[in-house]
Amino acid sequence: MATEYCSQVKCINYEALNMIAIAIKSHCQGAVIHWTDNLLQFSVNSENYFPHHEIKVVSKFFPEDVVITCRYKNEMDDYSEARIVEYHNGEYKDLDIEPIYYYIPRLGNSHDDNRILDKVEAFFRRLDTTDTDKEGNLFLNWFNDEVCYKFEYDGVDGKFKVEATKRRDQIYLKVYESFTKEDWREITAAEPKVMHNPLGGLAS
């Protein structure tokens, strides 16, 4: 069964990005490329394919100060992660590995929703740490025990209590909104839905 890979490529040099996009389309005809409005970043979705070779080759044609960054998202059988790789002048190095969390149920896209997810993710990122093996390769050291993070958030649209229970890469959310001092009502969806928390940028 084919696995869909997602790569996000970023560089301040449009010429370098355009050459990479052309090389990707030439090598992988099924790849779908989506450019951002400022033409300084694009994402590519493809089956069982990462454009590592194409980026490395193209980077040889540009001076060392032209840095290309790629965020590779890979979905495994039991978890997902994103690897951040930096390329310049034909060389490359791993910068980081990020966990990808699945939130159950999904929240909306309001300012408060996003701030709540940011706070939850920041807490659990301290548990799922990046480490280095004997060969110097980065790997993600997942925290496998169940843990619950509770906090209150005074948002733009109200006051909220949040319970976030983490089970490896799955985070189960309960969000309560304060209608009066004593009246807290759960506003998370009754039907569990899965969502990816979007990770902004490439290495942010």
**One digit per residue, pLDDT tens: the chain, 204 residues?**
456 678 999 999 999 999 999 999 998 888 889 999 888 999 998 777 889 999 999 999 999 899 999 999 877 655 688 999 999 999 999 999 999 999 998 888 788 889 999 999 999 999 999 999 898 889 999 999 999 999 999 888 788 899 999 999 999 999 988 766 566 667 675 443 333 443 333 332
Domain ranges in the chain with CATH number 3.30.70 = 4-99
195-196/170-178 β-pairing:
unpaired
Q: Is cis: bond before 105, omega within 30 of 0? A: yes
Level-2 CATH architecture, domain 4-99: 2-Layer Sandwich (3.30)
CA dist., res. 154 & res. 52, Å (int) = 43
Distance (Å) of CA 163 to CA 5, 110, 115, 124, 160 = 31, 18, 14, 13, 10
